[in-house]
Every structure is written in C-alpha cells, then in structure tokens.
C-alpha cells in the first residue's frame, strides 16, 4: 500500500511540474523593428494589426460608405487596391509615390550646397523616388499598418538615410479616411533627420465607367495653365496657357482619347489653399478631386485609365522659377503635411 501511495505521489508531482513548465509559454513573438525601404520586397506583409475596435462592421484593410462605395487596401505601397461603386470596379492600384513624385532631371539636385545623385529609373531621370521600379520604392515596399477604425486606415514607413541617394531618415504616415458620402481623403505627414526632398502623391488609376474605355468620359481641370516639357519629359521652366491646346479642359469636355498625356497643370488657386483640382465624369458616376497641392499630373495609361495625381511642380528642386508655388524641401525638425480628397458620387444622386 505504501508503495502504491508513493507512486501516486510521484505521478502527481510530475504532472504538476509539467503544467508549471508549460504555463505562459507561447509561439507568439513581437518585434520593435520599424519598416524600411527594401527593393526586394514584393509580397504583402503579414504584420497587419487587428482592427483597433471590436466593432463587427470593421473589415481588415477595407472601408465602406453608405452610398455604396467600397475601398480595398494593401500594405504594399500603402495602396488603394481597388474602389467599387455598387459592386462595379471604377478605380484600382492607387499606390503611394515617394519620396518625390514625378521626375528629377539627370537624377541630380543640389541642396544646402551639396549635390546629390539619386537612382535613375526613367532613362536619364529619376522617377517617383528612383529605385528599380518606375513606380518608385514606396510603391513596392510593405508599409506598417498602424491602426484601423470604422472609417480610416493609417500606414507608416521609414526610409533610411541615403535611400536611393536621398539624405536623411524619413518617416512618413499616410491616412485614408472615407466619409459616408463617398469622400476618400488621403492625408500625408512626414519628418526627416536631415534636410531632404518630400513630394508624395497617389497614383490611382481611375476607370470611371468600369469599362476599360475612354468613351463617354468627360474631364474638367481647374488649371488654366500647364508646364511644357522638353524631349526628356522635364519641365522647361515655362508656364503656358492651356487654352486652345490639347490641355484645354478649363471647361468640362469629352476626354481626348486620341491624345497622350503625362503632363502637369498649374491649378487656379491660392498657394497652400485647399481647393478644386479636377472632375472626371462618366455615365453613372463621377469623381471630384480637391487638394492643397499646386499641381495636378494628368496621365493616360492607354487602357481606359486616367490618373489625376496631385503634386508640387515636377523637378521643382532644379527650377527656382517654381518656388512661387511652394517647395519640395523638407527641413529637419519640421513636419510635412498635405491632403487630397477624391469625392466619388452617383450622377443625379
């Protein structure tokens, strides 16, 4: 009997020890490493945070409005994956562009007396921040999802000092907010450890009819002037009237599908003011664009998509004549902020 009791005691002790040894163990790990630019990143990250609310209406990386608009996002490029209205896709692939949207001539600029060379990915030019893709490094990198609420999503990225040749470590946040009436706002904020350049945008491809066609599409741009380009797609420094040219969309008119576009307009508003930039109208839906940026890039991709990219003047760092519109220089200790809104609505609603 004593032997049996002894064995039972030993078994009980072993069970208690095993239980104590397993208590608190977990396969979960955490990391404090912030995201940084990596030209090898090609797949969406798996570090999404859980929705910051227990509200069952929150769907990961998705925002919805009561007017039938749904916007889907991806961490790669902190991008708008697609936009649907009543189930029809009318826009897609709105990746974040940075550090500098558009082109920098020869991939060179001088800042505070020092000349910098940034990577070239568009012939002899640096496009959308350089890197190995024409989309730029911000577009192909996985951003960190900071938080999501019922009507907003916030992403962040850290671009290391000398990333593609740019000085200073830059941290940028992009926050998307969708109102119940279909206003999709994009707010940018950025800081840097050294004086650098900052001119982000979103490269949203809009197919307002969802038909991959330019037929039955009208355009109006609130810019009566544009910046002519040389043969290398670099601004000459001039500002010319759009009236009577292929750029003339001062009044709403049918989109000129036979023309090619990759050109910048100077918007007709006060410096720094938040105001109208453009309206793109289809047969059922339209989008009104508002921004605090002074310029708007009109781009036609040849596949039924039109891009309306808000920005500073292209190659502004190399054109002091553009200083009157603002600057692309972000100084250490200062914070860059900007806002652009795409208001999607139904015709007749």
User: Which one, of 88, 71, 203, lies nearest residue 148 by Cα?
Assistant: 71
Tokens 């206003």 belong to residue: 183
CA distance 89 to 84: 4
Cβ contacts of 225 within 8 Å, gap of 6 or more: 239, 240, 241, 242, 265, 266, 268
Cα-to-chain-centroid distance, residue 188: 9
> Which of 309, 319, 321, 343 is an active site residue?
309
CB 279, CB 289: distance < 8 Å: yes
Tokens 């708007």 belong to residue: 296
CA distance 155 to 273: 25
Asked if omega into 218 is within 30° of 0 (cis), the reply is: no
Confirm whether 309 is a catalytic residue: yes
CA distance 197 to 192: 9
Per the structure block, which two tokens stand in for 202? 């979103």
Say whether 192 sits in a helix, a strand or coil.
Answer: strand
- Residue 291's alpha-carbon distances to 31, 180, 270, in angstroms, are 36, 19, 11
Confirm whether 203 is a catalytic residue: yes
DSSP string, 10-63: HHHHHHHHHHHHHTT--S-----PPPB--TT--S--S-PPPPSS--TT-BTTEE
> Which of 34, 147, 203, 238 is an active site residue?
203
Residue 171: strand pairing partners:
158, 191
List residues with catalytic annotation: 203, 309
């Amino acid at each position: 009997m004593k032997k049996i009791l002894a064995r039972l005691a030993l078994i009980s002790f072993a069970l208690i020890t095993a239980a104590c040894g397993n208590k608190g163990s977990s396969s979960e790990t955490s990391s404090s490493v912030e995201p940084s630019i990596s030209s090898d990143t090609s797949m969406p990250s798996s570090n999404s945070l859980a929705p910051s609310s227990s509200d069952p209406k929150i769907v990961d990386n998705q925002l919805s409005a009561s007017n039938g608009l749904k916007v889907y996002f991806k961490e790669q490029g902190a991008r708008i994956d697609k936009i649907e209205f009543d189930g029809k896709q009318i826009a897609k692939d709105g990746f974040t562009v940075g550090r500098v949207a558009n082109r920098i001539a020869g991939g060179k600029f001088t800042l505070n007396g020092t000349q910098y060379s940034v990577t070239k990915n568009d012939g002899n030019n640096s496009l959308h921040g350089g890197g190995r893709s024409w989309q730029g490094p911000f577009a192909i990198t996985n951003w960190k999802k900071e938080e999501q609420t019922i009507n907003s999503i916030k992403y962040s990225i850290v671009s290391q000092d000398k990333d593609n040749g740019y000085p200073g470590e830059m941290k940028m946040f992009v926050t998307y907010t969708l109102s119940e009436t279909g206003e999709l706002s994009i707010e940018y904020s950025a800081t840097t450890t050294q004086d650098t350049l900052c001119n982000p945008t979103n490269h949203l491809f809009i197919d307002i009819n969802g038909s991959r066609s330019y037929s039955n599409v009208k355009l109006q741009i609130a810019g009566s002037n544009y910046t002519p380009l040389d043969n290398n797609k670099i601004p000459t420094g001039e500002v010319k009237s759009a009236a009577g040219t292929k750029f003339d969309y001062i009044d709403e008119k049918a989109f000129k599908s036979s023309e090619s576009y990759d050109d910048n307009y100077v918007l007709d508003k006060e410096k720094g003011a938040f105001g109208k930039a453009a309206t793109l109208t289809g047969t059922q839906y339209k989008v009104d664009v508002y921004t605090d940026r002074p310029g708007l890039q009109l781009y036609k991709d040849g596949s039924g998509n039109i891009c309306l990219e808000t920005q500073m003047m292209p190659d502004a760092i190399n054109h002091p004549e553009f200083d009157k519109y603002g600057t692309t220089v972000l100084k250490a200790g200062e914070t860059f902020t900007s806002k652009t809104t795409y208001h999607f609505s139904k015709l007749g609603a």
